[in-house]
Structures are given as C-alpha cells and as structure tokens.
C-alpha cells in the first residue's frame, strides 16, 4: 500500500521538500484550519505524525482523526510519554506507536533546576519583596553538597544527573534495575522509602507504568526529611497528591516544584496554588524553542527505518 502521511498543515508547509526527498512516493493528508478530514482521506492514511504544533489546542481533533484512520499502521508522537486509553486502543489494533524520547530532555532538566533554585533561594519571597519595594536581605541555601535522588534514568534522568554533578550535588540514580554501568551510586525503586529518608532532594522523571503508578506513596513522603525538596516533571499519577499537599501545607517537607498533577489542568480551587513553598508550571517543563525541531529529526529518522522495514527507535511494545 502506498504510504499516506497524516500531519498538520504547519508541518507540511515547513517540511514538504524534505518529506518528498525522504519518501518520493508518499502522499499527505493534512489537518487544516477546519480540523476535518474526509472519509475517503481517512481510509487512505497509513502513517500519522503528531508534531508539537498540535499542543494543546489541536490535540483532540488530531487524535480523533488518528483513531478513525482504519488503515493506520504507524503513529509517531512528539512527547516522550505515550500512555493513556488512546494509545492502548491503537496498540490493540496493531498500530505501531513511537515516541520522541529525549527531544525535550535538556529543557526538562533545566526546568528541574529552575525549581530547585527557586525553592532554595525563595524566589516567591524575592518577587513579593520587589513588588512591594522592600529592600530586604535574605539568607539562602546552596545546592552544592546536597544529596539528590533522581528517579528514572532515561534521557531526562541522565541530563538531570549531569547537571547535578556540575552543580556539585551528590546524585543517586534510582531505577527499576541496576545495570552496573551508571556513573553514580544506583539503587532500585524497591528501596524508595529508605532513599527518601536519606536524600535532601527527590526528582521524579519516571515513565508511568503499572509498576510505577502511585510509587511516591504517603509512606515514601512521610520518610522525607523536613528540609527535603521534591520535584515532579513526569506524571501526576506517580504521586499521592493528597499526601504531598498535606506534607507541604504543614511544613513536614520544605518545598516542591510541580509541573504535573493528578488532574490537569490543576483546578483553580486546589490548595497547592496558594502554598508559599510550592512552585507550579502547567505541564510545560519541556517547552523550548529547539524541541519541535528535535522531534522532527526523530520522526524523519524513524521514517527512514520504517520505509526500510527496520526496527524503529522508541517504539512501544505491542
């Protein structure tokens, strides 16, 4: 069957020449301003590429087309994670799903350190003093010398670990299984309660699976020392959010930087918004100007492999 790519009008406007060079016989069905695709075109689509320009406003109409494409064989998504009912249903149909692991690793790691500096240097207090024209002296805590547990050692966890070492921190890598070639002390998720008790900082960069959902439990949170900082740039479902909120509100732990939540968007009535020791970003820790191009590079690399009938990078198991 002749390959037919479903993508956005923005993507094909920018990359038509490169796509034609990579796959001379490929046809294109593009999602335009009307967000509608004809039934005939739907039946022709065999490949779909969900580029970053779909997020957030065009994500739902794009995914609706993907699910309706009866001959879809391969779907590539811009994010590092591809979990949820849509992806489960596609894989059950036999659709190959690949993701853009690593495309936003540097941006997310920098967001982690934005949180850590913001918390350790009381950026909210500084901003308040500036707004009120108060020329006040502050005593801050440095990151150098602190122990940091990095949960997850994919591209994001690897970059966080590199930055932690550069800042003079003492990282411990935490993953499902120790391989033995890690650059720092490495422990398993089975030891998480003890790890929580023994580290100044915990950063969550884990994929969400049946094994990791809810892994940051109340028991883990209760073991964190009072001076602990907690950062989550992975998924909200990894954490007992009620227990975390309670620990932050009562001062049981010192602070948190949160990019992801149990419910998104975070409800306007959620108490996390008003806690002075919490920094919040709206699930955009990986937002960066270079990210969309990195995603495109991964897609084109996989397109070459797909057309050559070779294994593709970052493919989810079916």
List pLDDT tens digits, range 118-158: 999 999 999 999 999 999 998 889 999 999 999 999 999 99
What are the structure tokens assigned to 139, written together? Answer: 């005593």
Does 242 lie in the same domain as 197? yes
219 is an active site residue = no
Residue 288 has a pLDDT of 77
Residue 33 has a pLDDT of 82
Radius of gyration over every alpha carbon of the chain, rounded to an integer in angstroms: 22
193 is an active site residue = no
Cβ neighbourhood burial of 211 (10 Å; 0-12, 13-18, 19+): exposed
Phi and psi of 265, rounded to 5°? Answer: -60, 150
Does 88 lie in the same domain as 46? yes
pLDDT tier at 232, thresholds 50, 70, 90: very high
Domain total for the chain? 2
Q: What is the pLDDT of residues 266-316, one digit of tens each?
A: 999 999 999 999 999 999 998 877 668 999 999 999 999 999 999 999 999
Task: Indicate whether 175 pLDDT > 90.
Answer: yes
State the alpha helices, DSSP H only, in 30-148: 39-44, 59-68, 85-92, 105-120, 123-131
Does 70 lie in the same domain as 173? no
What's the rounded Cα separation, in Å, for the pair 122 and 269?
A: 24
Q: What is the pLDDT of residues 95-128, one digit of tens each?
A: 999 999 999 999 999 999 999 999 999 999 999 9
Q: Which of 106, 146, 175, 283 is catalytic?
A: 283
Residue 188 has a pLDDT of 98
283 is an active site residue = yes
Residue 290 has a pLDDT of 64
Least confident of 53-57, 191-195, 211-215, 243-247: 53-57
pLDDT tier at 244, thresholds 50, 70, 90: very high
In a domain, 314, yes or no: no
Does 149 lie in the same domain as 113? yes
Q: Which of 142, 264, 297, 318 is catalytic?
A: 264
Residue 255 has a pLDDT of 98
Confidence (pTM):
0.88
The SS3 assignment for 201 reads strand
Task: Indicate whether 187 pLDDT > 80.
Answer: yes
Mean pLDDT, rounded, of the chain: 95
**Residue 216: strand pairing partners:** 239
Does 160 lie in the same domain as 91? no
Does 247 lie in the same domain as 210? yes
CATH of the domain at 89: 3.40.50.720
Q: Which of 146, 175, 235, 314 is catalytic?
A: 235
Does 109 lie in the same domain as 91? no
Does 62 lie in the same domain as 173? no
Domain membership of residue 295 as a residue range: 4-103+289-307
**8 vs 79: which has the higher pLDDT:** 8
């Amino acid at each position: 069957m002749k390959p037919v790519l479903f993508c956005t009008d923005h993507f094909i406007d920018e990359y038509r020449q490169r796509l034609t060079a990579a796959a001379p016989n490929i046809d294109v069905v593009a999602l335009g301003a009307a967000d509608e695709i004809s039934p005939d075109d739907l039946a022709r689509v065999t490949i779909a590429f969900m580029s970053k320009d779909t997020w957030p406003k065009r994500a739902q109409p794009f995914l609706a087309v993907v699910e309706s494409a009866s001959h879809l064989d391969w779907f590539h998504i811009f994010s590092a994670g591809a979990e949820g009912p849509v992806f489960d249903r596609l894989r059950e149909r036999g659709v190959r799903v690949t993701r853009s692991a690593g495309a936003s690793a540097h941006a997310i790691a920098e967001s982690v350190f934005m949180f850590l500096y913001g918390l350790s240097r009381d950026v909210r207090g500084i901003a308040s003093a500036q707004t009120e024209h108060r020329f006040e002296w502050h005593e801050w805590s440095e990151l150098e010398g602190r122990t940091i547990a990095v949960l997850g050692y994919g591209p994001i966890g690897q970059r966080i670990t590199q930055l932690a070492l550069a800042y003079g921190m003492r990282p411990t890598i935490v993953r499902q299984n120790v391989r033995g070639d890690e650059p720092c002390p490495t422990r398993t998720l089975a030891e998480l309660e003890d790890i929580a008790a023994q580290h100044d900082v915990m950063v969550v960069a884990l994929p969400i699976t049946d094994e990791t959902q809810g892994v940051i439990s109340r028991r883990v949170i209760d073991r964190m020392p009072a001076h602990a900082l907690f950062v989550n740039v992975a998924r909200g479902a990894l954490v007992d959010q009620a227990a975390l909120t309670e620990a932050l509100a009562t001062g049981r732990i010192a602070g948190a930087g949160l990019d992801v939540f149990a419910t998104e968007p975070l409800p306007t009535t959620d108490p996390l918004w008003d806690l002075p020791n919490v920094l919040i970003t709206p699930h955009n820790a990986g937002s960066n100007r270079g990210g969309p191009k990195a995603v495109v590079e991964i897609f084109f690399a996989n397109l070459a492999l797909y057309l050559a009938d070779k294994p593709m990078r970052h493919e989810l198991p079916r």
